């Protein structure tokens, strides 16, 4: 009988023990709801004078580039330089074959010599005509006197009519000779002017041939860099055909489009003589704003920046991004782009670690102490001011709003460090 009741007895004791343990368990503290906080990074407000920068993207050009061409149709005899080579002033770049340059020069020299001889002959002929005219005028006068004597003799029946006719013929021949000679003397100025005009034209042709002969040896007009080589020794080139280009290593310019809203500001700075520098984002080359282009279009006006210092491997035609320094602005705040919410909102962290909305005015970009591009802002009004020492969040929160509770990453790290130190001491 006892063996049958033993299992039930054990089961009853177990239930009684469970009930006793349940009744004597400690009471759990009531759950208190806690507000969630968001981890953010904070930035301390420091208002100061900052230099805003304007990102520009433009093309490097060589305004003093010259394109050298062939003076005449000829064969290329020499081309001792290569594309990209630096040369000094007076260096031979291209030489055309003398076999193509000398024949026109010799022909022009011969033409000038021939016309000079013709001019000299015309002057000699004129002198002879003048002397001959004097003699022929004397002969005409003598013939007239002989005619008068024959007429007097005929009237007195002392000579025949045939002698009178012969005297008339002599006068006519002498008068014809005088007329012909006078015509030759009178035509001398026009003949001489014609020859001198032909001589001047021949001399001009000779000068052109001499010029082409000299230009057949293309020399560097200045120290520069060879580019755009288009010929090789042995090539047959036409007159005015391009040979190569040369640009000076100094004086390179960057032409970049500037939006219209910055044009007046930059123009005023240039008029005041302010130096606005720009730095290439890659390479660090320095440029100085020299002027604005004379023409504009709906996209803006081109700013012309002169390279100040070594090119550092940059060549004309390269596209470069630069940061142009604008006139400095006082009482401004530089913040990372992640700190801006919307188009004009920053969030200040109050003493209760809650967010307060602050409106700001965007002034452009500036460089942080580490050289990164940050946003430059200032308070939109007196009410929206940010006092020095205030903290603003530098983390972009998609759900940021007025009164949102946050926890700064640095403060959380300090709290964690203190807790670990207390646990280690215990």
pLDDT profile of the chain (426 residues), mean per 10: 66 72 67 72 84 91 92 92 92 93 92 92 89 84 81 75 78 84 86 92 93 91 92 92 92 90 88 90 89 84 90 87 89 87 86 86 84 83 69 86 83 40 42
- The helix (run of H) or strand (run of E) holding residue 263 is helix 260-271
Strand partners of residue 278: 287, 324
* Spatial contact of 62 and 317, defined as CB atoms under 8 Å apart: no
Q: For position 3, what pLDDT does the model report?
A: 64
Beta-strand (E) ranges in 298-328?
300-307, 319-325
pLDDT digits (tens, 9 = 90+) for 138-165: 888 888 888 788 777 777 777 777 777 7
Q: What's residue 30's pLDDT?
A: 62
pLDDT at residue 187, rounded to an integer: 86
Predicted pLDDT of residue 391: 87
Q: Considering Cα of 156, then 157, then 163, then 164, what sign does the dihedral take?
A: positive
Which pLDDT score, from 0 to 100, does residue 424 have? 40
- Give the pLDDT score at 404: 85
Nearest to 404 by CA among 357, 339, 342: 357
Q: Tokens representing 167?
A: 């005297």
Which pair of structure tokens corresponds to residue 11? 């089961």
Distances in Å between the alpha carbon of 188 and those of 76, 117, 122, 191?
48, 16, 8, 5
Tell me the whole-structure pTM to 2 decimals: 0.65
Query: For the chain, how many residues are written?
Result: 426
pLDDT at 4: 67
- Nearby residues of 46 by Cβ (< 8 Å), 6 or more positions away: 333, 388
- Nearest 5°: the CA angle 35, 40, 45 is 120
């Amino acid at each position: 009988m006892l063996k049958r009741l033993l299992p039930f007895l054990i089961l009853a004791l177990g239930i009684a023990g469970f009930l006793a343990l349940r009744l004597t368990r400690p009471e759990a503290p009531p759950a208190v709801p806690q507000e969630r906080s968001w981890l953010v990074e904070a930035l301390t407000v420091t208002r100061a004078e900052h230099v805003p920068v304007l990102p520009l993207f433009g093309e490097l050009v060589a305004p003093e580039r010259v394109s050298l061409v062939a003076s005449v149709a000829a064969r290329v005899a020499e081309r001792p330089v290569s594309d990209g080579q630096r040369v000094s002033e007076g260096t031979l770049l291209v030489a055309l074959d003398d076999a193509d340059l000398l024949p026109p020069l010799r022909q022009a020299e011969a033409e000038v010599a021939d016309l000079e001889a013709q001019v000299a002959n015309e002057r000699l002929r004129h002198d002879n005509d003048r002397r001959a005219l004097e003699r022929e005028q004397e002969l005409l006068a003598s013939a007239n006197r002989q005619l008068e004597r024959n007429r007097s003799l005929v009237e007195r029946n002392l000579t025949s009519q045939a002698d009178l006719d012969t005297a008339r013929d002599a006068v006519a021949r002498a008068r014809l000779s005088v007329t012909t000679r006078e015509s030759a003397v009178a035509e001398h100025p026009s003949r001489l002017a014609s020859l001198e005009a032909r001589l001047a034209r021949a001399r001009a042709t000779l000068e052109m041939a001499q010029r082409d002969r000299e230009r057949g040896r293309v020399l560097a007009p200045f120290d520069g860099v060879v580019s755009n080589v288009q010929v090789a020794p042995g090539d047959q080139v036409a007159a005015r055909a391009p040979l190569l280009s040369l640009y000076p290593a100094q004086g390179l310019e960057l032409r970049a489009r500037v939006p219209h809203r910055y044009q007046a500001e930059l123009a005023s700075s240039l008029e005041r003589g302010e130096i606005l520098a720009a730095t290439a984002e890659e390479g660090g080359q320095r440029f100085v704003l020299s002027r604005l282009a004379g023409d504009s279009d709906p996209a803006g006006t081109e700013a012309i920046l002169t390279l100040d210092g070594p090119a550092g491997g940059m060549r004309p035609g390269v596209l470069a991004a630069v940061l142009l320094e604008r006139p400095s602005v006082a009482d401004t705040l530089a913040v990372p782009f992640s700190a801006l919410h919307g188009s004009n909102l920053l969030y200040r962290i109050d003493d209760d670690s809650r967010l307060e909305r602050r409106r700001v005015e965007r002034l452009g970009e500036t460089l942080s102490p580490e050289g990164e591009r940050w946003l430059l802002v200032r308070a939109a009004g007196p009410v929206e001011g940010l006092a020095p020492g205030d903290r603003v969040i530098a983390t972009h929160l998609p759900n940021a709003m007025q009164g949102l509770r946050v926890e700064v990453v640095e403060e959380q790290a300090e709290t964690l460090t203190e807790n670990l130190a207390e646990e280690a001491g215990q």
